[in-house]
Every structure is written in structure tokens, then in C-alpha cells.
């Protein structure tokens, strides 16, 4: 791992004191950092969901310190148990909006994890960073671990931000970022599915309300653009965060040979997703590679065990998915909505004017 500024290194290595009752054991899963905190039962027959419900306030205090909390050994290993433990957190759940990848809606705010070819990794990202109200918390539950790999890697985006070269960081602070989506190629979801609408009128009302501009192309395709700050402030901790999908959807991050084939068939401007500076400027490939490296330097991962339950602060921690073999069934839920800071958005628009 590349060296960090001294203040960050000290923060990572210091001893972490965790307070809990005698019913559970707690410790950081990894010796060299706080992400994630591991909670295991210290007594047999402990009702994990009931324990979580009783200790909501304590867990809310621990989550910003650790970014994510892994509950292991509580037997949350089926859909009903996952639904019950999510409910025990008290978080008001959200629907999956502005969809980018397919997943099955199991009802009551519970989803399967993203359906994506198992031979490919899903890069680290903070869920729905590009919308106007994103989840503050996200939950994962392992029903069936994969035969090999299939981890859900995590990275603290406070530390990712510190890894980014100051010149690159300040350029994004000044210019923000822009997500461009193209609908019509058959690659990726339709606009009806992505925005959960049926008619053009419904679509345009939604896009207007969400501060997304759009363009109907002569071939009938739809192109949307949304500009957002690249660096956000956590509403609870006040920490600055690298909170965006810039590297995730940059054209250079596409898996080969998908990128080469699609660019040859349709051109870069018609990729289903691409990212730019907020003013529309091209983000160089080497900048995107630098951002991917910042995530890589801060990534931790652990093998899933059946019944694992992971609670994460979606603004503090990015997540992804390793390639895998075997069945792998992981459920997800999200909630505790956080609204886009209107003042930060207005300041970005003023800088770009």
C-alpha cells in the first residue's frame, strides 16, 4: 500500500476502543484498520435482529468511526431473516431509482444484488451518487456464498479522497462532474426501466424535477446529462468525501472487449454511460486511471459466509463486487435518504456559468 500523509497513517494505526454489551464480541475485522467492525454473538441463541434493534443508537455512533459493520454468526441466512434484520435497524428504506443495472425487486425495499456477468468485477462506487436523494445506509446479506471469490470489496472514500493528487482533486472540486447516459442502443436499460416511467411526458417531468437535462436524437435515442459535485460533505461527521461515479463510468473503465466493440459500432459519444467534467470537458484516461488506483489502494475485502449481514454508511464507504464462480446469492437494501446539498449545487452552477 502506498504511503499516506502522516496524520492519516496515525489515524489508521491507533487502537480502536469499541463499547458493547456482554452479549456480543466486537473487533475490527482487519488488524491494520477499522473497516469493517466485526460483531459476533458471545452467547448461544442470541436473537441478532432483536439485539440490533435494542442497540440502534450505539450502532449509529460506531458506524461513522468504522464505515461498515459486519454481523457474523447470527444466522441471517434466508430472505425472511434478512428482511427482519433490515427492519430492526429502523432505517426507512428507499426504492432503487435511476436504474443502471438489472436486479430483482423482492418487495418491501429488498433487492437481489446486481445481475452482472460473474467473470467481471464491479468497480467500487457509492450507491446512486448521481441522483438528488441517495441512500445514507446500505445493507447486504449473504444467503449463499460463491464457490470462489465473490467478495464485496469496500473502501473508505475519506481516505480515497486523500489519495488523489491535489491538482486532480481541486480540478474536480472546481468543475464537478457530469454523467451522460444514452438510451437506444440496446446496451443497458431502456429509459422506461431506468426512470420507472411509461410515457415521454412522465419522463420529462421526472428529469426536470431531478435537474437532469435531456436531448432526443434524430435516430430516436435519448441522451441525458446531469451535473453534480465530485466532493461532498458528510451531513453527520462533516468529513469531505470522494462521492461520485466518475471513475466507475468513465469510458476507460469499460471491460474489454466491450469498450472496443461498442466504440467501433456506435462511437464514444453514444456509450450507455460516460463521465466528463461538469462543464463537459473530457476527463483524460490517465486521470481516470489515477482515480481507480486511489480506490485500489484503500480497498479491503473478506470472503462472504452464509448468514453474514453488512451495514455500511453509503457516503463514507464505496462497495463493489469481485468476479466469482458458483451460485452466489447476496441481497441488498438501502435507505436513510440524504438530499443533494442545494447550496453546494448552486455554488457549482455558479462556477460553471
Global pTM reads 0.91
- The CB-side HSE value for 345 (13 A sphere, CA atoms) comes to 15
pLDDT tier at 14, thresholds 50, 70, 90: very low
Domain residue ranges of the chain, discontinuous segments joined by +: 12-119+132-154+303-340, 160-293+344-352
Residue of 35, 138, 150, 29 whose CA lies nearest to 94:
138
Question: Does the structure show a pLDDT above 60 at 18?
Answer: no
Q: pLDDT (tens digit, 9 = 90+) per residue, 70-97?
A: 999 998 989 999 999 999 999 999 999 8
Q: Let me know if the fold of 12-119+132-154+303-340 is the same as that of 160-293+344-352.
A: yes
Distance CA 206, CA 84 (A): 32
Class level of CATH domain 160-293+344-352: alpha beta
Homologous superfamily in CATH for domain 12-119+132-154+303-340: Clavaminate synthase-like (3.60.130.10)
Question: Does the structure show a pLDDT above 80 at 122?
Answer: yes
Q: pLDDT (tens digit, 9 = 90+) per residue, 315-345?
A: 999 999 999 999 999 999 999 999 999 999 9
Q: pLDDT (tens digit, 9 = 90+) per residue, 187-209?
A: 778 999 999 999 999 999 999 99
Q: Tell me what percent of the chain is helix, strand and coil, each rounded to the nearest 5.
A: 30, 30, 40
Amino acid at each position: 500500500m502506498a504511503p499516506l500523509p502522516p496524520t492519516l497513517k496515525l489515524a489508521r494505526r491507533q487502537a480502536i476502543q469499541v463499547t458493547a454489551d456482554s452479549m456480543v464480541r466486537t473487533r475490527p475485522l482487519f488488524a491494520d484498520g477499522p473497516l469493517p467492525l466485526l460483531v459476533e454473538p458471545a452467547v448461544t441463541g442470541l436473537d441478532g435482529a432483536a439485539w440490533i434493534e435494542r442497540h440502534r443508537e450505539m450502532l449509529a455512533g460506531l458506524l461513522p468511526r468504522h464505515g461498515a459493520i459486519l454481523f457474523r454468526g447470527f444466522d441471517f441466512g434466508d430472505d425472511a431473516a434478512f428482511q427482519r434484520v433490515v427492519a430492526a435497524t429502523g432505517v426507512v428504506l428507499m426504492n432503487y431509482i435511476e436504474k443502471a443495472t438489472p436486479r430483482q425487486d423482492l418487495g418491501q425495499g429488498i433487492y437481489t444484488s446486481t445481475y452482472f456477468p460473474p467473470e467481471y468485477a464491479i468497480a467500487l462506487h457509492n450507491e446512486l451518487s448521481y441522483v438528488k436523494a441517495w441512500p445514507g445506509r446500505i445493507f447486504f446479506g449473504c444467503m449463499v456464498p460463491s464457490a470462489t471469490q465473490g467478495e464485496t470489496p469496500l473502501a473508505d472514500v475519506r481516505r480515497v479522497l486523500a489519495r488523489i493528487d491535489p491538482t486532480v482533486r481541486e480540478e474536480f472540486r472546481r468543475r464537478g462532474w457530469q454523467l451522460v447516459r444514452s438510451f437506444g442502443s440496446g446496451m443497458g436499460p431502456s429509459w422506461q426501466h431506468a426512470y420507472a416511467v411509461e410515457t415521454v411526458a412522465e419522463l420529462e417531468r421526472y428529469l426536470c424535477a431531478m435537474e437532469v437535462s435531456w436531448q432526443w436524437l434524430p435516430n430516436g435515442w435519448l441522451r441525458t446529462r446531469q451535473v453534480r459535485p465530485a466532493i461532498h460533505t458528510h451531513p453527520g461527521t462533516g468529513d469531505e468525501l470522494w462521492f461520485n461515479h466518475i471513475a466507475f463510468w468513465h469510458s476507460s473503465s469499460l471491460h474489454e472487449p466491450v469498450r472496443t466493440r461498442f466504440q467501433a459500432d456506435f462511437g464514444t459519444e453514444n456509450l450507455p454511460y460516460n463521465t466528463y467534467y461538469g462543464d463537459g470537458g473530457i476527463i483524460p484516461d490517465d486521470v481516470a486511471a489515477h482515480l481507480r488506483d486511489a480506490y485500489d489502494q484503500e480497498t479491503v475485502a473478506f470472503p462472504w459466509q452464509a448468514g453474514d449481514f453488512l451495514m455500511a454508511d453509503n457516503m463514507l464507504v464505496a462497495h463493489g463486487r469481485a468476479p466469482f464462480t458458483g451460485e452466489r446469492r447476496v441481497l441488498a437494501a438501502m435507505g436513510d435518504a440524504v438530499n443533494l446539498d442545494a447550496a453546494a449545487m448552486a455554488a457549482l452552477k455558479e462556477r460553471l456559468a
